Structure 1
Amino acid sequence: MRLKLHSQSFRARIAGFTMLEVLVSLLITVIGLLGLIGLQAQAQITEFESYQRAQALVLVNDMADRIAFNRAMDASGYVIGWRCYAYTTDPQKYLGMTNTVAAVCADAAIAGDPKTRADADLAAWNNLLQGSAETVTASGTKVGGLLGARGCITRDATTGVIRVSVAWQGMAPTVASADTCATTNYGANDALRRVVFTEVVVPVLTVVP
């Protein structure tokens, strides 16, 4: 009788230890799965950020090429086509999302083909920033752009260098950009504002006699 009771008690202890091992194993598995889910989420954010930056660089280089191509000259032979594009006089004057600035040549003195070309360039860039590359068929909603994309074009009066910038909203705060394009448009935390830019040097040439 004692042997039987001892055997039953031993089996109960073994069952208890087995249940504890199962629970510990489940806990370890759950922690591992949670870590894997977090890693997957972070990987998706990183991939999206990389895609956004690549798209922004395409838009920046697109406008830089347009500016360089507009070679309108004045009567003395100086290149003046760039004047149509240097419209950003402050960080709140931009093209793209929520834009209220007319996407036309910024210099009223330029007319003819150079102005027509510049108007078309600025309007096209404004539409691309707003996502016109891809639209929803049913509603016509533009969905092909960056997240809150805005574009700025400034010119340094001293050096003559033209800067083309594209700003958008990142998924997580990093370091606030020194470029001021579209500041205060992405919430109180400016570290969410992403900016890429390129610079265009338009040579001021004249006719040599």
Structure 2
Amino acid sequence: MNRQGCGSPSAALDRHVWRSEPVSFSLCFSEQGATLIEVLVTLLLVAIGLSGMMAMQARGIQQNQSAYLRTQAITIANDVADRIRLNRQAGLDDYYSLALSQEASDFSTEGIHDSGKKLAYADLNGWLNWLSTTLPEGDAEITRTGQRITIVIHWNARRDRDGLSNYQHEVDL
């Protein structure tokens, strides 16, 4: 075997067109392990690509969850807005006013004789229960300024860190 030519077939064929001994296609000693390095580099690039794809997938799932929670907040806000529109006088009388951190139990209908107020409190009681079970750390406030009712819903979009989100909806009575 020719070490200077590193056993290349072209060097062997140039000297003898018709060789009786087999031509060796072995690599030079300096090239041994080059294939292994190429495989390792390829594996590294594939690993980097796969980790990038996993990160994009995780981010997509997180964004999907965020969009889902925002859609739930919009649905919840529209629900109470429709209830206020249907019980317009109670909305104008501030029976639907709600401060942050108020509980559903604050709106008990026991002992209330005014039908508008009783309906408003029943609406808020059920609505706050729905809000607290649908959105993580869900909270809301409802305020009235003149003929305009403002509904603001707050929730924690990411449970692992401070990811507070909110949605504001306004209703004209």
Identify whether the pair has TM-score above 0.5, normalized to the shorter chain. yes
The 1:151–1:104 alpha-carbon spacing in structure 2 relative to 1, beyond 3 Å, is farther
State the distance in 1 between where 2:49 and 2:63 align: 21
- Name the count of aligned residue pairs: 153
Which residue identity lines up with residue 22 of structure 1 in the other structure? V
Query: Which blocks of at least 5 consecutive residues in structure 1 are unaligned?
Result: 72-78, 132-144, 173-185, 203-209
The answer to whether the 8 Å contact 1:94/1:101 transfers is no
Which residue identity lines up with residue 153 of structure 1 in the other structure? I
Q: For 1:9-158, what aligned pairs fall within 5 Å after superposition?
A: 10-71=27-88, 79-82=89-92, 83-88=94-99, 93-95=100-102, 99=103, 102-104=106-108, 111-131=113-133, 145-156=134-145
**Superposed CA RMSD:** 2.9
Query: Which blocks of at least 5 consecutive residues in structure 2 are unaligned?
Result: 8-23
TM-score, normalised via structure 1 length: 0.63
The answer to whether the 8 Å contact 1:57/1:196 transfers is yes
Determine whether 1:166 maps to 2:144. no
Determine whether 1:194 maps to 2:165. yes
Residue 136 (structure 1) aligns with: none
Secondary structure of the structure 2 residue equivalent to 1:87: coil
Higher relative contact order (CA 8 A, sep 6+): 1
The 1:29–1:119 alpha-carbon spacing in structure 2 relative to 1, beyond 3 Å, is same
Cα deviation for residue 43 of structure 1 reads 0.3
Please state which structure has a larger fraction of its residues in helix.
Answer: 2
Q: Note the alpha carbon deviations across 1:82-141, whole angstroms, 9 max, x for none.
A: 4210132xxxx344xxx3860247xx9x8432122112101111110121xxxxxxxxxx
**Which structure would you say has the larger Rg?**
2
Cα deviation for residue 160 of structure 1 reads 3.8
Q: Percent identity?
A: 30
Runs of 4+ in 1 over 6 A off after TM superposition: none
The answer to whether the 8 Å contact 1:104/1:118 transfers is no
State the distance in 2 between where 1:128 and 1:32 align: 43
The answer to whether the 8 Å contact 1:166/1:196 transfers is yes
Which residue identity lines up with residue 42 of structure 1 in the other structure? R
State the distance in 1 between where 2:148 and 2:90 align: 13
Q: Note the alpha carbon deviations across 1:139-197, whole angstroms, 9 max, x for none.
A: xxxxxx111111111122xx44211111111239xxxxxxxxxxxxx98x5xx221112
Cα deviation for residue 15 of structure 1 reads 3.5
